[in-house]
Structure 1
Amino acid sequence: MQLTVNSSINMDLLMYTVSIHVPVLQVLVGIFLFVNSLMIFTFLKKEVFREDTRYILFAQTLFVDSAFMVVNNILFICYGFQYRIHMIPCIILCLAMTFFYICTPLTLVAMCLERYVAICMPLRHAAISTSRNRCFGFFIIWGISSIAPIFNFIAYLSTVHSSALFSYALCSVELLLGEEWVAQTRALIFQIIFFFMIVVVLFTYIKIMIAARAASSDNKKSTKSLRTVILHAFQLSLSIVQFVTPYIEIAFWKGDVMMFINVRYSSFVVFMIVPRCLSPLIYGLRDERFFIVLRHYACYGVDNLSQSLSIRSKVRPI
């Protein structure tokens, strides 16, 4: 399946719209990648963060979100300027984007489970949060994230002629959904993952909120915990909505190209960039230990000796 531009479309207006969208998008993506890179650098510089499951999961979201943003940005620019690329790199980019697309919300669900164990089962947290269990958890996340890309790849190869692999096209994930049954099966996979995440998130957050209210007599501390829960729930809701947006976009894919680009641009900003910007806010800037070290490196280490000693003393405890 290949999108062709109708001759009635005003290409000048299309290029004008894209020329406005692309610079704004590049600024947003550039800021996002800069903040993520600084946080990844902060994570790698301190061993205490590399030994804590919470921060390791946070680092994975930073890596995955950054890779997803780069790949999606490349595809958006190519599609916006109607630039056709070879199908083999197109397939690789689309499969990688689908993998990253699923991996982020699954990692957030894993972070919910980690917080549930830490708050509701504090005595067992150290025994459960081991390097072996972390590796096992990552294999589960990566395995589930690979189901949809592997299915898309096998289904695409089975439904197109081999010569199609050497053609050029406007690269989009929709290219891999040439047959109706492929799109329906992919939707079913997303729905199963969606249901799984909803169940886990609801269970963990209800338990965490009950435990936080029962254990905390400090109203200020309780309020902060509830705000974190609300921010996290909002982020997950936006991330989960990502599974629905492709089926909204595909309705415009065969019609007006400019409308399709506008819809994709809006969904990209609202459901791709915004929830990924919340990760640095929730787990980076609002985390006191991480923020102290982050500020230290963001200021290029321009601290006096007492401030440096204060940083070291605060980041040692896990």
Structure 2
Amino acid sequence: FSFCFSSHCNHFFLCWCNNSSQVSIYRESFSSEGSMLNVSQSESNMTTASQNQDLLRIVLISTLSTVPSFVFLYINGTILFTLRSKPVFRDTCRYILLYNLLLADTVQLAQSQVQFLLSVCRVKLAYSLCTVLSMLANLTTGISPLTLVVMPLERYVAVCYPLRHSSIITVRNTTVVIIAIWAVSSLNNLTRVLLFLKFSLEKIESWQIEDVCSRIALVLGAVTAEYDRAYICVVFVSAGVATTFSYVSVIIAARSASTDKALAHKARNTLLLHLVQLGLSLSSTIYNPLIIALSKILTTVAFLWVQNVFYVCFIIFPRCLSSLIYGLRDQTIRPVLLYYLCCRLKVKISG
């Protein structure tokens, strides 16, 4: 005959055989609680390793974007200071317009970096706070292309109507134009707010951004998306038409015997630079659609790295490169800019 008994943690089998006087005790090495403890420890180790990898990835991505951002913010700040350091800059209309363009780009760069770091660190924001940040981004983003509508026209007047340039392009008129630029961009923001308020305020106050705080999060419907596309198309087409018209007019005027050849040549190069600036500004508008499309086909890790590369290429670089190139090629700005960038070396300038 045989019988067995078991304890809570381990199973023991006691067998008594008819043909043997010996009792054999076998212990089954099976422990349910020990097994569960090992599984729990394994899961804890995996979680810790995953958290360490996530932390390392966040640090790397944040560093790769923050370092160039701070470098470009320093360069932009230096150019802004340069444009206010001499009367020749403060009293020249094209430098005033450049200052307005660079100011908007600098604010946009700083604000974009803040939102990017919040996104990388997976910080969830209340909808109201995300709305404020996105409205600021929307306001400053619209300033650049609107300013690029006016800057080519200023060069067109300088070359094609040199005798009337000083009476048409004045500091007062330029100030009025800049106010109008900010007013148009603010009106665009107000329109988005009105579309936003079509939704229940009580419901919106309780909303929280599920993933990334950006202008994508504020596209609350087809109407908002269609309005954004229409506004972007109108602004950039206007800037493109103004730049192309000015460039063609300058080329035609350069063939005239009464036109200053050197001035026309410089104006033509400046207008080409404006086209480059417009292209860089336009490139930032395709960032969000690309990110949306890639988020659907890439893994989370791959998406974060691609997002970082695209952010540096489409958001950071355009906010600095165009103004830096403009400043370095301008014979009046370049010595002063290099003076402040290069440890304030002694450089003589005129004006």
Provide TM-score, normalisation by structure 1: 0.82
- For residue 192 of structure 1, what is the aligned residue in structure 2? 234
Q: Identity, % of aligned pairs? A: 30
Residues 1:93 and 2:136 aligned together: no
Cα distance 1:230–1:194, how it changes in 2: closer, same or farther (>3 A)? closer
| Letter in structure 2 aligned against 1:272 | I
C-alpha distance in structure 2 between counterparts of 1:16 and 1:208, whole Å: 54
**Aligned to 2:328, which of 267, 285, 307?**
285
Tell me, in whole angstroms, the C-alpha distance in 2 between the residues paired with 1:40 and 1:165.
Answer: 38
Q: Which residue of 2 aligns with 1:4?
A: none
Alignment of 1:106 with 2:149, yes or no, is no
- Kindly indicate whether the alpha-carbon contact (under 8 Å) linking 1:252 and 1:259 is maintained by their aligned counterparts in 2: no
Q: Matches of residues 211-250 of structure 1 in structure 2 within 5 Å?
A: 211-212=253-254, 214=256, 215=259, 227-250=269-292
Matched, 1:141 2:181: yes
Instruction: Please say if 1:23 is aligned against 2:66.
Output: no
Letter of the structure 2 residue corresponding to residue 286 of structure 1: R
Say how many residue pairs are matched: 297
CA contact 2:105–2:144 (8 Å) conserved in 1: yes
Inter-partner Cα distance in structure 2 for 1:99 and 1:173: 11
Letter in 1 for 2:179: F
Task: Name the residue aligned to 1:120.
Answer: 160
Higher relative CO (CA 8 A, sep ≥ 6), structure 1 or 2?
A: 1
Matched, 1:152 2:192: yes
Q: Is the 8 A contact 1:38 1:294 kept in 2?
A: yes
Which deviates further from its counterpart, 12-21 or 176-185? 12-21
In structure 2, C-alpha distance between the alignment counterparts of 1:292 and 1:111, rounded to whole Å: 22
**Match 1:176 to one of 218, 225, 229:** 218
The unaligned stretches of length 5 or more in structure 2 are: 1-49
**Highest Rg: 1 or 2?**
2
Amino acid corresponding to residue 133 of structure 1 in structure 2: N
What residue is the counterpart of 1:297 in the other structure? 340
How far, CA to CA, are the matches of 1:12 and 1:300 in structure 2? 41
Gaps of 5+ in 1: 1-9
CA distance in structure 2 between the aligned counterparts of 1:178 and 1:15, rounded to whole angstroms: 32
CA distance in 1 between partners of 2:261 and 2:125 (Å) = 60
What is the CA distance between 1:62 and its match in structure 2? Answer: 1.9
Asked if the contact 1:120/1:207 (under 8 Å) is kept, the reply is yes
Give the aligned partner of residue 316 of structure 2. 273
Tell me the CA shift for residue 82 of structure 1: 0.8
Conserved? CA contact 2:138–2:189, under 8 Å: yes
| Alpha-carbon displacement from aligned partner over 1:13-32 (angstroms, at most 9, x marks no partner) | 76655433221111111110
* Alignment check: 8 A CA contact 1:212 1:225 kept: no
Relative to structure 2, which stretch is displaced further, 243-252 or 193-202?
A: 243-252
CA RMSD, Structure 1 to Structure 2 (Å): 2.8
**CA deviation profile, 1:228-249 (whole Å, cap 9, x unmatched):** 4433322212212333433333
Kindly indicate whether the alpha-carbon contact (under 8 Å) linking 2:250 and 2:267 is maintained by their aligned counterparts in 1.
no
Corresponding residue for 1:7? none
TM norm structure 2: 0.75
Superposition deviation, residue 186 in structure 1? 1.7
Give the structure with the larger helix fraction. 1
Does residue 132 of the first structure (1) align with residue 172 of the second (2)? Answer: yes
Q: Larger deviation: 166-175 or 122-131?
A: 166-175
Please tell me whether the aligned partners of residues 155 and 267 of structure 2 are also in contact (alpha carbons under 8 angstroms).
no
Deviations 1:274-309 (A, max 9, x none): 322233333211111111222333445443xxx5xx
Query: Separation in 2 of the partners of 1:299 and 1:136?
Result: 35
Stretch moving more, 272-281 or 93-102: 272-281
* Residues 1:31 and 1:209: Cα distance change in structure 2 (over 3 Å): farther
1:64 and 2:104 correspond: yes
Give the CA deviation at 1:101: 1.1
